[in-house]
A and B are shown apart, each in its own frame.
Chain A
Amino acid sequence: MSNVLNISSSPHVRDRWSTRYIMGIVFLSLMPATIVGVAVHGLQAFLIILISIVSAVGTEFLFDTLCHKGKSYLDGSAAVTGLLLALSLSPDTPLYAPFIGSVFAILVVKCCFGGLGKNFINPALAGRCFLLISFSNSMTVFKVDAVSAATPVAELLAGKAVNVTSMFLGTSNAVIGSSIAALLLGGLLLWAFDIIHGEICFSVLGGFTLFVALFGGQGFDPVFLIANICGGGVVMGAFFMATDYVTSPVSKLGQMIYGLIIGVLGGLFRVFGSSADSFSYSILMGNLLTPLIDMYILPKPFAYRKKAIARQSGAPRKTIKQMIPRPVLVIAIITLLAGLALGGVYSMTEETIKEQQRKKAWESYRAVVPQAESFRAVQAPDIYGTIYGSSYGRVTINEAVIGMDASGKTVGYAISVTSSEGYDGNITISVGIDPDGVVNSIEFTELHETPGKGMLAADPAFKDQFNGRSVTSFKLITGGGAPAANGIDAISGSTVSSKAIVNAINAALDFFQSVKGVQ
């Protein structure tokens, strides 16, 4: 008995679970989405994933080495962050983006706050949002057959029907890890391995669905709801990001509240916002609320719970009030209040907003038909507000007015049209046309495109191209194509915005033909 016996405090056995085991399972659960992503999007997607993981692990390795922090890069958490980040990027992202995003996620969000377990927001999401804000143009490029196209959520926001089947399979026009079927399989794996539990996932999805159903304008239409859930990273967020242990509350009740907050915020941004990436932001907000939730929602030990105290004094009867679980009550009340508050604010401001839009429109009519002294509306209410024609995309004619001079003679027409296919929501244009069909000028009454790109539409260089031309329809010329008699040069880098504007103006011209001569 010459050897020295080990001494330690009990217990002397340990479960096989380790940090690396958990990270391994999470990584494995992301594999279905990764495989589908690479299969659908090819080499570029693979490179993005590879660069993201390598730079995430590499950053942590360098930090550990330089700061003498041990070997935390081996625990697998950096690799998971890198993979999650890559899966939430577009397959057409330039290759420097995953590198920058991973470095930011690991260095700033994780290591600088104390490494694993100490970050206050999800590093992968933080990296993604950092990229979205810093490189807004190249980050949001989604191409289909080398032509820019809108993501399913952008289409959904624009009120279009989307192909849910392709969203399920991951062949739609979205981020690398967008296959809902693969993500659900991954979520199921996480659940089967006991890594995640229902509280967060279902409260996120529940809050989101409820909000979209109540305020999304299409009620409980299942197709609409499923399309909304399947798009914009909701599923990935609910299963892989909101459930991040570090940045979610400890108690089950806290987790449900946290999930509900994320779900409702996500729904709010989806219904009333215009960004397709809003779900990331709602999760980040939930992350930031976590310490607050953990401060106030602390479950008491079993012996201090009300029922237990009643039992200790020998009164085991339950009242009906006690039989309804408290979390259910609390959550119901929170949801109700949040819903009422949001709905109330919306309906209160809705009229004011409409009034202001109207005022703005009438001001613009004077600008586009300067000769007119007064205007009167053209009566065509059955056309107003509905999608006009089939070849202009989702364009609606808001109204048409006839401008008259002092003697009451028609001197021009102003038509307000809205295209819902702008890069960032609606674009509303007032088009001034003289009685002979010549375009006077155009004015934007609603335009919130990307600054420096789509917003250039309001510059005379683009806007004035339409002035004084008399055509039946304009044709968009992209990338320096051959000039044409009816050609309009697109804003460089903003094909989506340009196309929406030209479509809207063409619709206005088309509608003009039908109101021309109407007195």
Chain B
Amino acid sequence: MEKTFRGGIHPKDRKELSRQVPLQHYEAKGEIVLPLGQGIGKPAKPLVKKDDLVLTGQIIAEADGFISSNVASSCSGKVKGIEKRRTLSGSSVDCIVIENDGLYTPVEGMGVQEDISAIPNEEVVARVKRAGIVGLGGAGFPTHVKLAPRDPSAIRYIIANGAECEPYITCNDQLMRTQADGILEGLEIILRLFPNAEGVVAIEDNKTEAVAAMKEAAARKQNPKIRILPLRTKYPQGGERSLIQVIAGVDFPVSKLPADVGCIVNNVGTIYAIWRAVAFNEPLFTHVLTITGDAVNNPGNFIVHNGTKVSELVEACGGIREGVTLKKVLAGGPMMGIAMSSLEVPVVKTTNAITLLSEDAVEKAEAQLTNCLHCGRCTTVCPQGLLPQLMADAVHVGDLERYEKKLYGLECIACGSCTYVCPAKRPLTQVFKQTKAEILAQKRAKQAGGGK
């Protein structure tokens, strides 16, 4: 039996809907909408204005501050304007809207393979930064920041996250099957920056083809510093902390970063993007994405252009199935994905799936809501070793002090495992996310007050 972390759950993965569908490059036909903030950090500063002509791969907005990332145009055409548009999460943010000419004329110098061994290390990080690469696993943390820790020699593990534990999503599975060599190239590039690090490609053992493909690629590479590590299939195996727990054997609080315990975790998609950025001078404007769910006609895996409308992608999959009512659409999978209110929004760098469902389990669960039984199932599955039932009690009585100090409520990573197993159908994760935001807001208010 493969190694795994403590806790966790086994939700129905429904990956069979799309796992055998090969990656297909989809070129958007309609307009492209590129939010200035795609991932964690400050939104980028636009470098173009209305009516400017842009080319595919052209940097059209640049990072504003340390934690911020560039945005590249994903098509060629004319800038329609910089305006507020609704995004996946439902909020309206500043976006660069481009009239797509459908030609995809590339920017000069992009796509020509260079000899990466000639590129110095500083240039590697600079190219990653220029390409606007963020963590494609979902959080969207700027990758160039991740690659520049305080002490590079203290990094022991570079973890390529191919676990893909989230139900329904299969795009990274397909990416690993077809681009195994590219991913390993990317991993080697990162390893160059960290002399004491070992590269570990972590894959859940339900992706047998991906494991085989990666192993073959590794055999071709014959790099002793790289190994392929199948892990037991269990959610949230692909969580950064779960991976570090298994690979480095370390548990660490949220106040610390993976780099503090000698690890850097990158999604396999991100690592592939790093290779493209460094070796081909190609910014991040395409990424892999799964369109799936029981409500769509032909679920599939795509290489999509950043800023493509979700509705266009759904049409590319044959649209919504006849006789089915679309109940819920998720950006991401069902465990951590965001419920969308409309399909007329663009996919961004961190969107790894669009899940279209004809049934809403949450709606059904609400009908079965009862008081907490204190059954302790939430405690058993929590990958952080928290006590969700007592945390919910503390929130209920308004004891945020106990929530934070005694129950370590801020350690919650919002993986949703507790809510998934709760027989009383309590919305635990939601409560914890809200409470965390509340406590952090209070702290910020206090700091701001103290600063005066």
Contacts and interface: CB of A to CB of B under 8 A. Distances in A.
Contacts of A246: 373-374
Interface in A83-141: 114-118
B397 to A, nearest CB: 12
B340 interface: yes
B93 interface: no
Given A5-B329, A6-B328, A11-B420, A308 B250 contact: yes
Given A1-B343, A18-B368, A250-B389, A7 B90 contact: yes
Contact of B339 (A5, A19, A312): A5
A251 B421 contact: no
B368 A303 contact: no
A360 to B, nearest CB: 50
Interface in B314-340: 320, 325-330, 334-340
A22 interface: yes
A11 B335 contact: yes
B363 A301 contact: no
Contact of B411 (A114, A115, A301, A305): A301
Interface string A1-34: 1010111111111110111111000000000000
B375 interface: yes
Contact of A5 (B250, B328, B375): B328
B283 to A, nearest CB: 30
A250 B361 CA distance: 28
A114 B371 contact: yes
A300 B419 contact: no
Interface in A271-309: 294, 298-305, 308
Interface stretch (B20-28, B54-62, B220-228, B378-386): B378-386
A7 B341 contact: yes
Most-contacted residue by chain B among A19, A246, A299 (CB, 10 A): A19
Nearest to B388: A250
B353 to A, nearest CB: 12
B408 A304 contact: yes
The 10 A-B pairs with the shortest beta carbon distances in the complex, nearest first, are A11-B416, A117-B371, A9-B430, A302-B385, A302-B251, A308-B251, A17-B423, A12-B334, A303-B251, A13-B334
Given A250-B390, A308-B250, A311-B250, A10 B421 contact: no
Chain A interface secondary structure, helix, strand, loop or mixed? Answer: loop
Most-contacted residue by chain A among B90, B245, B260 (CB, 10 A): B245
A245 B376 contact: yes
A14 B363 CA distance: 10
Contact of B424 (A1, A5, A117): A117
Contacts of A19: 368, 370, 373, 423-425
A467 interface: no
Interface in B90-107: 90
Contact of A301 (B357, B371, B384, B430): B384
B407 interface: yes
Given A9-B430, A9-B433, 18 more contacts: A1-B326, A3-B327, A5-B339, A6-B360, A7-B90, A12-B360, A14-B420, A18-B370, A19-B424, A72-B370, A116-B373, A250-B390, A298-B390, A299-B385, A303-B254, A303-B385, A304-B408, A308-B250
Contact of A115 (B261, B328, B371): B371
19 contacts: A1-B320, A5-B329, A6-B328, A7-B341, A8-B360, A9-B427, A10-B339, A14-B364, A14-B425, A15-B9, A19-B368, A19-B370, A117-B374, A245-B376, A246-B373, A250-B379, A302-B245, A302-B251, A303-B253
Most-contacted residue by chain B among A11, A245, A298, A300 (CB, 10 A): A11
B249 interface: yes
B84 to A, nearest CB: 20
Nearest to A314: B262
B139 interface: no
A75 B375 CA distance: 15
Nearest to B328: A6
Contacts of B422: 14-15, 17
A316 interface: yes
Contacts of A1: 311, 320, 326, 343
Nearest to B423: A17
Contacts of A250: 374, 376, 379, 387, 389-390
B81 interface: no
Nearest to B383: A302
A18 B374 CA distance: 13
A6 B363 contact: yes
Interface string B209-249: 00000000000000000000000000000000000010001
Contacts of B251: 301-303, 305, 308, 311-312
Interface residues of B, number: 75
A117 B330 CA distance: 33
Size category of the binding interface on chain A: 35 or more
A316 B251 CA distance: 12
Contacts of A308: 250-252
Contacts of B250: 308, 311-312
Contacts of A298: 387, 390, 406-407
A302 B320 CA distance: 44
A11 B426 CA distance: 12
A431 to B, nearest CB: 57
A5 B9 CA distance: 27
Given A12-B361, A301-B411, A303-B253, A245 B375 contact: yes
Contacts of B253: 301, 303-304
Interface string B243-278: 001000111111010001110000000000000000
Given A5-B340, A12-B360, A21 B423 contact: yes
B50 interface: no
A115 B407 CA distance: 25
Contacts of A312: 250-252, 256, 260-261
A114 B368 CA distance: 18
A11 B419 CA distance: 7
A302 B386 CA distance: 8
A117 B373 CA distance: 5
A72 B370 CA distance: 7
A116 B370 contact: yes
Contacts of B340: 5, 7
Contacts of A302: 6, 245, 251, 384-385
B11 interface: yes
Given A9-B430, A302-B251, A3 B325 contact: yes
A13 B408 contact: no
A301 B403 CA distance: 13
Nearest to A195: B375
Given A14-B361, A299-B385, A299-B387, A116 B342 contact: no
Nearest to A13: B334
Contacts of B373: 19, 22, 116-117, 245-246
Given A12-B337, A14-B420, A301-B408, A20 B374 contact: no
B406 to A, nearest CB: 6
Contacts of A301: 251, 253, 384-386, 408, 411
B275 to A, nearest CB: 31
A331 to B, nearest CB: 19
Contacts of B384: 301-303
Nearest to A248: B374
